[in-house]
Structure formats: C-alpha cells, structure tokens
Amino acid sequence: MSKDTVLLVIDVQKGLIEPAYRSTEVLENINALLGQAHNSHTPVIYIQHDGPKGHGLEAGTANWQIHPAIAPQEGDAVIHKKASDSFHKTALQRELESRGIKHLVASNTSSLWEDRPSIVSKPLAGARPR
C-alpha cells in the first residue's frame, strides 16, 4: 500500500461483527490489513453506520461501537454515515480528494455488496478499487 491508497474499514461494528460467521477470523484478517497500512503509512478511514433510535446500530449504543479488536489508532479518520452508501451525505469524497487518494482497499463485515456500487461509481474522485 502507499500514500495514494487508502484502507477503508466499513461497518465493522460490534452489532454486525460479533454475531457473524467466523467473526474472529474476519477480525484477524482486518487486523492484518490494518498492520500493513499503518506500517506503510497508508491512510486508514473507518466508516461507521449511525442507525436511528431503535435500530440495531443506534448511534451511541454498545452495538454501534467499532469493534475494539480493530479500533482506530491515532491519525485514523472516522466518517459517520446514515445510508448503506458510504459516500451519501458524508465527508468521504472530500476526505479522499484532500488526501490525493487514487486507490481504495475496502474491508467490511459483509461481502461489500452494499458498498461496492458506491465505491466503484466514484470516478470523479479519481479513486479506484484495488
């Protein structure tokens, strides 16, 4: 990884990852990616879903928290979203542009099915999935 690449850690929140199949292995894999990113000074951006009151990821609740096994480190950015699209009404586009990002490495609690359309449909930022 490099400075024109960013590692996106999307929705790896307690309420989604803890009940997931092979969650320990998923967290270990994300930790490996985080280690590579931090060691190579690649920026890391966490995307955290803010659910409404009563939602399984209601903002401020225990399930809403980014899983402590992969918690952000100093210098990592956290961007909050309210929709499945990580770009919709968030600061993600501006953050990528301000950092000169050209490549995205994405990690998620699922298959990235929800975020894949938003990630690959942002050519204006000059960012491409890797």
Mean pLDDT (the chain, rounded): 85
pLDDT of residue 65: 97
Domains and CATH numbers, the chain: 5-99+110-118 (3.40.50.850)
What H or E segment, with its residue span, contains residue 128?
A: strand 128-129
CB 48 within 8 A of CB 79: yes
CA–CA separation, 128 vs 10, rounded Å?
16
pTM of the predicted structure, to 2 decimals: 0.85
What H or E segment, with its residue span, contains residue 129?
A: strand 128-129
The pLDDT tens digits along the chain (130 residues) read 677 999 999 999 999 999 888 999 999 999 999 999 999 999 999 999 999 999 999 999 999 999 999 999 999 999 999 988 888 899 999 999 999 998 888 887 664 445 455 554 454 345 555 5
Residue among 110, 94, 130, 116 at smallest CA distance from 6: 130
